[in-house]
Amino acid sequence: MSAFVIENASLYGDTTADLVMVDGEIASLSRADAPAEATVIDGSGLVALPGLVDLHTHLREPGREDAETIESGSRSAAKGGFVAVHAMANTTPTADTAGVVEQVWSRGREIGLVDVFPVGAVTVGLGGTQLSEMGAMANSRAQVRVFSDDGKCVHDPLLMRRALEYVKTFGGVVAQHSQDPRLTEGSQMNEGLVSSELGLAGWPSVAEESIIARDVLLAGHVGSRLHVCHLSTAGSVEIIRWAKAKGIDVTAEVMPHHLLLTDDSVRGYDPRFKVNPPLRTQEDVDAVRAGLADGTIDIVATDHAPHPDEDKDCEWGAAAMGMIGLETALGIVQKTMVDSGALSWRDVARVMSETPARIGLDHGHGRPLAVGEPANVTLVDPNAAWTVEPSHTASRSNNSPFGGIELPGRAAATFLRGVPTHLIPALEGASA
Amino acid sequence: MKHLLGTDTLSREDAVLILDTAAQMAATQEREMRKLPTLRGRTVVNLFFEDSTRTRISFEAAAKRLSADVINFSAKGSSLSKGESLKDTALTLQAMGADAVVVRHWASGAAQRLAESDWMAGHVLNAGDGTHQHPTQALLDAFTIRRHLVGGGTDAEATGKALEGLTVAIVGDILHSRVAGSNIPLLKTLGANVVVVAPPTLLPYGMAARTDIAVHYTLDEAIEAHDIDAIMMLRVQRERMTGGGSGFFPSPEEYTRLFGLDAERFARLADHAIVLHPGPMNRGLEISAEAADHPRSVIVEQVSNGVAVRMAALYLLLAGEEASA
């Protein structure tokens, strides 16, 4: 029997209770009901949230095990407070067949640190020309429900329409990487005054916004569910707000780095700040924060994108796009949204657990902290300020742009079905 | 100065110092014995990731006339076909003991990256990075303009002076031009009025809204609106004109009609106005033969001034270090 009791935790940051976890379930909210052999953890000062779910993770396996493996990525996720991640399809081979998604899924199960939900490719090889066998992936053991060509945009409007319609067969969702490829040929950073000054080819906001606008219209027309990946501009927030007001079934995610950083960071040409979509302006940062606060943006996802040193320790133009983010996401959300009063911890539970689990149809995740529910729990220490040191990550890559930045809090412990997958040292000595 | 990466961070004092030093260097080039012993024993590496024979031999001549040892290192490689990485090349040069590296690279920011990384310790001189900066080109342009329009044809009269009150027009592909990227901030720093002439497709984001420079969409309009003292014609990259439906301009003929400096437009400039071009020229496209070969064209002189300016830059980076050590 596995039994833990977290005493005096603040559930959702507003109700003090005990969490008694027995055999993978929340058995009681009172320590009086805890089995005698239960491991006791002092939850004083800690906030208990339903375990975090990341709808947008790159685990790189199969194909780029030099950057990340399902194991190292799972470890990094657990350390960041996540109990489930959605592994994007842009691997080698592409996750566009039942075979590949089952392999990723079963490897995730073997490791057992987080639930790994493979995302299936919308088109064969992310080629944008032929739909992949989404039905086979949906009906495989991996039960794929989220489909995305992330890294590439499903640019052909007819193909996008077909994909949106087709996933209705199994209640799936198309998660679109909104980037007009023609408007972003050779693009290196956000198009604006900074790109002009730095002589880097611009990546205009409209390249994102025009695709989102088209896609919400398509989703509305065919009555399908659309998810917008890594929204990054003020204009995108307005389009989503408009679409929701029209009753279109659209959800949207924002990345921690787009909540915190601007294109000013690019001035040193340090490729750790090179990412797709690019870091935008302060006006955009303010708009995505406001959009997240008022519910226009549904969730925060990480877009954790590991790259080995040689792809970042080089000149800007030669560098890969992307940054790791599983271990810093929670701290950044606290810094930008909670400590500013824009979100409560209950809201954080919504945007980092409940809603991503609902979008991804992840059964057993994003559930209430209540008796009889799965014991998927993240304990947050909101008063554990720390300075990010990129090399201290559990990820196999250390391409974090947040090195040297102080974050106010972090995940102190993560429980997946009642089993601790991450415990800070102070909690490890918990008495049995 | 440890490095020369761009003109946007160059103070007016440093810019004028480089121009004055270049004047001294130019004077030595009039002598029978043109070689100076200043950098004897120092090693200057010309590291070129892009072909540019002109710029490379200009730097080579400058370093050799200061008695430095020169190593030419052509590293092939682009964003598409990766050759040896910039980092590995830099580590190699460091191991060989390069005192200064003159770098030309296709990636914007490559020179700054080289200077600020821990890959090598030497001085970095930017000889053109992507579509960003080409500081010695802007300095040689300023030097040439100063000699003719401030010094009345000689450097002695111009010593210590900047370019106050002069109006300089830059015409052509501003968006992709590192020459413009360096010239605009340097000319502003030196007190000149800057007029930019380009089709809207070839202007960087936000430039048309700038209030510290004038922007025009045709050359005729610019000539009409300003008393231009110096006009700088930028090279048009033919492949940027009409390629693959993403051309920045409908046709070379239309470009010439709207932006080419021909005899008729030349005649409408002031009698003292000079013509510059960073080379190589597309005769008949951005500049007509009449304008290019006109007595008030200083295009060939720019080349010799380039050597003097690069001597000055190398001298100030390398010899200055010795003096302070």
Active site residue A180: no
pLDDT at B324 over 50: no
Q: Choose the weakest-confidence range: A167-176, B184-193, B316-325.
A: B316-325
* Mean pLDDT score across all residues of chain B: 92
Q: Are residues A125 and A233 in the same domain?
A: yes
Token reading at A15: 């109700």
pLDDT at B201 over 70: yes
Averaged over A117-123, what is the pLDDT?
Answer: 98
Cβ distance of A318 and B82 shorter than 8 Å: yes
CB B214 within 8 A of CB B226: yes
Q: Choose the weakest-confidence range: A50-59, B19-28, B238-247.
A: B238-247
Fold of the CATH domain B12-133+304-324: Rossmann fold (3.40.50)
Q: How far is A32 from A138, CA to CA, in rounded Å?
A: 43
Q: What is the pLDDT of residues B278-304, one digit of tens each?
A: 999 999 999 999 999 999 999 999 999
Q: Are residues A260 and A323 in the same domain?
A: yes
Q: What is the pLDDT of residues B124-135, one digit of tens each?
A: 999 999 999 999
Cβ distance of A318 and B79 shorter than 8 Å: yes
Residue with token string 């000539």: B223
Q: What is the pLDDT of residues A363-401, one digit of tens each?
A: 999 999 999 999 999 999 999 999 999 999 999 999 999
Cis peptide bond prior to A382, omega within 30° of 0: no
Chain B residues whose C-beta is within 8 A of a chain A C-beta are: 8, 79, 82, 85-87, 105-110, 112-113, 116, 129-133, 178, 181, 204-207, 246
Residue in B133, B206, B246 closest to A199 by CB: B133
Nearest residue of chain A to residue B87 (CA atoms)? A314
Domain count, chain A: 2
Nearest residue of chain B to residue A184 (CA atoms)? B246
Averaged over B12-26, what is the pLDDT?
Answer: 97
Q: How far is B284 from B298, CA to CA, in rounded Å?
A: 18
Give the alpha-carbon dihedral of A57, A63, A69, A71, to 10 degrees.
100
List of residues 6+ apart from B7 with CB closer than 8 A: B15, B133, B135, B138, B139, B182, B183, B185, B186, B189
| Residue B325: band (very low, low, confident or very high) from pLDDT cuts 50, 70, 90 | very low
Domain extent at residue A339? 51-359
Q: Are residues A200 and A252 in the same domain?
A: yes
| Residue A430: band (very low, low, confident or very high) from pLDDT cuts 50, 70, 90 | low
Instruction: Name chain A contacts of B85, Cβ cutoff 8 Å.
Output: 310, 314, 318
The CATH superfamily label for domain B135-301 reads Aspartate/ornithine carbamoyltransferase (3.40.50.1370)
Q: What is the pLDDT of residues B63-72, one digit of tens each?
A: 999 999 999 9
| Residue A428: band (very low, low, confident or very high) from pLDDT cuts 50, 70, 90 | confident
Nearest residue of chain A to residue B180 (CA atoms)? A199
Half-sphere exposure of B284 (CA within 13 A, CB side): 2
* Mean pLDDT score across all residues of chain A: 97
A369 in any annotated domain: no
CB A113 within 8 A of CB A416: yes
Total residue count of chain B as it appears in this document: 325
Cβ distance of A269 and B109 shorter than 8 Å: yes
Of A300, A332, A359, the one marking the end of a domain is A359
Q: What is the pLDDT of residues A210-234, one digit of tens each?
A: 999 999 999 999 999 999 999 999 9
A276 in any annotated domain: yes
Coil, strand or helix at B283: strand
pLDDT at A362 over 60: yes
List the CATH number of the domain containing A31.
2.30.40.10
Averaged over A353-366, what is the pLDDT?
Answer: 97
| Residue B319: band (very low, low, confident or very high) from pLDDT cuts 50, 70, 90 | confident
Closest CA to A61 of A83, A94, A85: A94
Q: Are residues A157 and A205 in the same domain?
A: yes
List of residues 6+ apart from B136 with CB closer than 8 A: B4, B59, B125, B126, B127, B306, B309, B310, B313
Q: How far is B207 from B215, CA to CA, in rounded Å?
A: 8
**Where along chain B do its domains lie?**
12-133+304-324, 135-301
